[in-house]
Chain A
Amino acid sequence: MNVVQFAHGEIYMLGAYCSYFLIKLYGFSFWEALPLSALLVGLLGIVLERFFFRPFRGRFEPSIIVAVGLMLLLQTIAVVGFGTDTKSMGGIIPGVLKVSGVTLSWDRLIAILVGIILVAALFLLIKKTKTGQAMVAISQDIYAASLQGIDVNRISAFAMVIGCALAAIAGSLMGSIFSTSPFMGTSAITKGIAVIILGGLGSIPGAVVGGFILGLIDGLIPPLLSSTMAGIVGFGVIIIVLILRPRGLFGHE
Chain B
Amino acid sequence: MLEIKGLTKHFGGLAAVTEFDMSIYSGEVVGLIGPNGAGKTTMFNLITGFIPPTKGHILFEQVNITGKATHAIAAKGIVRTFQQNAFLPDMTVLQNVLTSCYLHPKSGVWEAIFNTPGYRKKEQKALHHAMEIIEFLGMDSVSDELAQSLPHGYQRLIGIAIALSANPKLLLLDEPLAGMNANEVNETLIFIKKIRSVGTTVLLVEHNMRAVMKICDRVVVINFGKKIAEGLPQKVKRNKDVIEAYLGVSEDAA
Direct A–B touching, Cβ under 8 Å: no
Chain A residues at the B interface, C-beta cutoff of 8 Å? none
